[in-house]
Amino acid sequence: MLTLVAFAAVLLIGVPIGLCLCLGAIVYIADSGNPLLFNNYPLQLFGGVDSYGLIAIPLFILIGEIMNAGGITQRIVQMATAFVGALRGGLAYVNVLANMMVASILGSATAQVAIMSQIMVPEMERKGYDKTFAAGLTAFSGMLGPIIPPSVMFVVYSTLAQVAVSDMLVAGIIPGVILTLLFCVIIAILGVIHRFPAGDPRSWRERGRTILDAAPTLLIPVVIVGSILAGLANPTESAAVGAVVAALVGRFLTKEFRFSRLPSMLLRAGVYSAIVLFLVAAASVFSWVLVYGKIPQALAASVQQVAKDPTTFLLLVSIALLVIGTVIDGVPGLIMTVPILLPIATEIYGIDPRHFGVVVVVNLVLGLLSPPVGLCFFVAAAVTGANPGRMFIVTAPFFVAACVLLLLLCFYPALSLVLLQ
């Protein structure tokens, strides 16, 4: 109880979540009456990040930096425009499809929203779309980043759950495609209701030229995802090769990337990676004291009185994670909840840890788009100047579509596991 009070107190006064976890563990050890546990504290802290798979995190972040600097993102948008840009609501479809393609390279919701808001929102506004709707749609499309591989959140979950990173990345493919299709259905319905503007017609010659110009950029997701699916490389190796391919494509094909900018990119990738890895190390210590204190076992006994089957348990977890995700960012949310909930899911209800990971990640990402915080909305608002609160109102149907995906995942585990059979 003292640990919970101490953790809540430091969290409420604005202490970073990683330090809250470390301090909470120290308070528990001091209160346990077993000072020998302090000897294991640094070992647990180091052991949390002593994982080869975590090397993929800075590499995925570096790929995003190179991709943006090399003009690759813009060409992906142009390719999506060539496919669906002439339809009614064409730019809205382009927004979703381009985000899906970028998600296969970037893997971070907030980074993706920041990049795509700069590209898509001004263009949609110029074509007659409401700026608030355009910004809100970009924020929701950013959900695809942590779901479609590669994904920083899946890499972190893999470390916490001790499952293969490649399995988690593959498990997110079908849910990501389903979410993309659901968003497109919503756009089609809203396009009829609000009479979205049709895109500029293009000849097949123009479309072919645009696609050929942008086609080399697809080498990056093909190398990353294809090598993992084919078993040619693990996620860390594929991320390393993907970074090299991104640099070569940006330098010699799009001709916009400069190797002189690489040091600053490496610095930014290193800083962000250090933040994520510190959270993982802190989570390892906090999970250790939770297990020592038999907290998961006590919680499992309480949950079993309410949830009698795996589906009910997943529905309850989804409600809880949506609430948590509204106030806590994705990676810290994973770190706080997975060590407690995963043992219950796997040992009591027999849920596959890979399926459980997909459910948890989708929930926490959707929390980034839910009031009162809605971090992705604030990122889009900072870039575009749109109102975050109104964004949620005008794009509420996309929130419903994401909830539909969650229900499908709770009732049909095969959606995340079929590619792993």
pLDDT, residue 4, reads 66
- In this predicted structure, the answer to whether residue 405 has a pLDDT above a threshold of 90 is yes
pLDDT, residue 352, reads 95
What is the three-class DSSP state of 198? strand
Q: Which of 71-75, 349-353, 411-415 is least confident? A: 71-75
Mean pLDDT of 180-190: 91
- In this predicted structure, the answer to whether residue 409 has a pLDDT above a threshold of 90 is yes
pLDDT, residue 361, reads 92
Mean pLDDT of 62-74: 79
Tell me the C-alpha distance between 207 and 215, whole Å: 12
pLDDT, residue 255, reads 84
Categorize the per-residue pLDDT at 222 as very low, low, confident or very high, splitting at 50, 70 and 90: confident
Q: What is the overall mean pLDDT for the chain?
A: 82
Give DSSP secondary structure letters for 225-261: HHHHHTTSS-HHHHHHHHHHHHHHIIIIIS----GGG
Return the structure tokens found at 19: 């330090």
User: In this structure, how many other beta carbons lie within 10 angstroms of the beta carbon of residue 284?
Assistant: 24
Q: Are 113 and 138 in contact (CB under 8 A)?
A: yes
Categorize the per-residue pLDDT at 228 as very low, low, confident or very high, splitting at 50, 70 and 90: confident
Categorize the per-residue pLDDT at 128 as very low, low, confident or very high, splitting at 50, 70 and 90: confident
pLDDT, residue 104, reads 64
Q: Are 50 and 21 in contact (CB under 8 A)?
A: no
Tell me the C-alpha distance between 418 and 421, whole Å: 6
- In this predicted structure, the answer to whether residue 144 has a pLDDT above a threshold of 70 is yes
- In this predicted structure, the answer to whether residue 50 has a pLDDT above a threshold of 80 is no
pTM given for the model:
0.79
Mean pLDDT of 13-41: 78
Categorize the per-residue pLDDT at 86 as very low, low, confident or very high, splitting at 50, 70 and 90: low
Mean pLDDT of 32-52: 78
Mean pLDDT of 401-419: 94
pLDDT, residue 407, reads 95
Per-residue 3-state assignment (H helix, E strand, C coil) for 4-47: HHHHHHHHHCCCCHHHHHHHHHHHHHHHHCCCCHHHHHHHHHHH
pLDDT digits (tens, 9 = 90+) for 271-311: 877 877 787 787 778 777 777 777 766 766 777 778 889 99
Amino acid at 142: G
Q: How many residues does the chain have?
A: 421
- In this predicted structure, the answer to whether residue 411 has a pLDDT above a threshold of 90 is yes
Q: Are 175 and 148 in contact (CB under 8 A)?
A: no
- In this predicted structure, the answer to whether residue 327 has a pLDDT above a threshold of 70 is no
Mean pLDDT of 365-385: 79
pLDDT, residue 272, reads 76
- In this predicted structure, the answer to whether residue 102 has a pLDDT above a threshold of 70 is yes
Give DSSP secondary structure letters for 291-302: HHTTHHHHHHHH
pLDDT, residue 401, reads 93
Q: Are 382 and 392 in contact (CB under 8 A)?
A: no
Tell me the C-alpha distance between 127 and 85, whole Å: 12
pLDDT digits (tens, 9 = 90+) for 231-279: 788 778 888 888 898 888 888 888 888 888 888 888 888 887 787 778 7
Alpha helices (H) in 142-218, listed in sequence order: 152-161, 165-171, 173-194, 204-214
39 closest CA partner among 31, 51, 54, 29:
29
Tell me the C-alpha distance between 337 and 295, whole Å: 12
pLDDT above 90 covers what percent of the chain?
15
pLDDT, residue 350, reads 93
pLDDT, residue 106, reads 63
Q: Are 99 and 144 in contact (CB under 8 A)?
A: yes
